[in-house]
């Protein structure tokens, strides 16, 4: 983001991060949080999980250095070029169990110019018409532009509860995507990461935190595993399972692979999946921890993440 650019009415800091300007106070323990749009945040700053974590642990500052659309290769660059020069007491790297898993191949697979040229996902000539067509179809289905969470571009508001009532009442929120488009997104993701025979992603996603820990050196290093919504909402998983070609998918496979490996390497981590599944369902049978038809956390999801993360980081305070 641009310095000062507003996101949910909150100005990004001088580095373009969705947080207050970094300043380490005497006696304070600082943890720098690196990640993608989950870390950047899709809620007002006061409801963001790093803010809630700070509030729960006096003497702790969690500096949010999340960048939209970043992946493991970018996390390494942010760690090396921006975070480590700030000399935090610890680094927390968030791995979203989907996009980050798919993009981790850039750690291990150098690609030639020709390989990139013939990769249609890399070509504007292919992507622009495809995205325009999808946007037109989504507008027709939703009656509005798709892809932006409700309220994301509202002006500065003093009364967050009144300005964003759907954050407290998920049923009031407008969907980000049409139901069919959202299901297709989740179907594609789950098919890629939940096939026992399709774990070619296994080695690259292990290599990424290992390399980041090496670069972090003596700075404490933690990994946060962020579950996809289909792993949390049983109804969504049931809908996906009704689609053809879904036999044998293992919903929890990515977490098991990564957790076992992180433990073997002695890398401290926090898997949020158990905490998210422990949230009681609301009367409609869903937990409502993600935005409506959108795979980013809403206020409720951020509260669970912030509370769980506080338990992990609280022992660090006073030891720096």
Span 202-221, pLDDT tens digits: 677 788 899 999 999 999 99
Q: Is residue 89 part of a domain?
A: yes
Residue 247: half-sphere exposure toward Cβ, Cα within 13 Å: 2
Report whether pLDDT(287) > 80: yes
Q: Please give the pLDDT value at position 218.
A: 96
Q: Is residue 97 part of a domain?
A: yes
Of the candidates 98, 99, 94, 100, the one whose C-alpha atom is nearest the C-alpha of residue 62 is 94
Q: Is residue 165 part of a domain?
A: yes
Report whether pLDDT(125) > 90: no
Domain limits at 306? 6-112+149-176+199-233+251-316
Name which residue leads in pLDDT, 268 or 132.
268
Q: Is residue 20 part of a domain?
A: yes
**Could you give the number of structural domains in the chain?**
1
Report whether pLDDT(120) > 80: no
CA distance 130 to 55: 43
Report whether pLDDT(123) > 90: no
Report whether pLDDT(117) > 90: no
Q: Please give the pLDDT value at position 262.
A: 93
Q: How confident is the model at residue 237 (pLDDT cuts 50, 70, 90)?
A: very high
Report whether pLDDT(91) > 60: yes
Q: Is residue 96 part of a domain?
A: yes
Report whether pLDDT(192) > 90: no
Six token digits for residue 108: 């291990």
Q: Is residue 143 part of a domain?
A: no
* Phi (first) and psi of residue 318, to 5 degrees: 90, 0
Identity of the highest mean pLDDT range in 93-107, 140-154, 241-255: 241-255
Q: Please give the pLDDT value at position 270.
A: 98
Q: What is the pTM of this model?
A: 0.90
User: What is the average per-residue pLDDT within 11-26?
Assistant: 94
Q: Is residue 245 part of a domain?
A: no
Q: Please give the pLDDT value at position 246.
A: 87
CATH number at residue 162: 3.40.50.1110
Q: Is residue 170 part of a domain?
A: yes
The pLDDT > 90 percentage for the chain reads: 66
Q: Please give the pLDDT value at position 145.
A: 62
Report whether pLDDT(106) > 90: no
């Amino acid at each position: 983001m641009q310095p000062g650019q507003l996101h949910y009415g909150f100005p990004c800091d001088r580095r373009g991060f969705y947080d207050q300007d970094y300043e380490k106070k005497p006696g304070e323990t600082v943890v720098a949080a690196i990640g993608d749009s989950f870390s950047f945040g899709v809620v007002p700053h006061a409801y963001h999980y790093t803010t809630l974590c700070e509030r729960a642990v006096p003497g702790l500052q969690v500096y949010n250095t999340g960048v939209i659309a970043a992946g493991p290769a970018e996390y390494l660059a942010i760690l090396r070029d921006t975070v480590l020069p700030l000399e935090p007491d610890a680094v927390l790297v968030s791995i979203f169990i989907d996009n980050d898993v798919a993009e981790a191949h850039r750690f291990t697979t150098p690609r030639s110019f020709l390989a990139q040229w013939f990769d249609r996902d890399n070509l504007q000539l292919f992507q622009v018409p495809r995205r325009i067509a999808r946007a037109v179809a989504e507008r027709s289905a939703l009656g509005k532009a798709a892809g932006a969470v409700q309220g994301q571009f509202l002006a500065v508001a003093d009364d967050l509860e009144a300005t964003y009532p759907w954050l407290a009442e998920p049923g009031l929120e407008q969907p980000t995507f049409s139901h069919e488009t959202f299901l297709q997104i989740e179907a594609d993701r789950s098919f890629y990461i939940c096939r026992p025979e399709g774990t070619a992603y296994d080695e690259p996603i292990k290599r990424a935190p290992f390399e980041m820990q090496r670069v972090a050196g003596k700075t404490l290093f933690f990994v946060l595993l962020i579950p996809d919504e289909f792993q949390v909402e049983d109804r969504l998983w049931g809908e996906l399972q009704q689609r053809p070609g879904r036999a044998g998918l293992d919903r929890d496979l990515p977490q098991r692979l990564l957790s076992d490996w992180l433990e073997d390497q002695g890398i401290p981590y926090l898997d949020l999946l158990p905490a998210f599944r422990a949230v009681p369902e609301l009367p409609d049978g869903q937990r409502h921890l993600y935005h409506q038809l959108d795979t980013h956390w809403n206020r409720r999801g951020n509260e669970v993440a912030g509370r769980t993360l506080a338990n992990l980081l609280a022992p660090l305070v006073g030891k720096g």
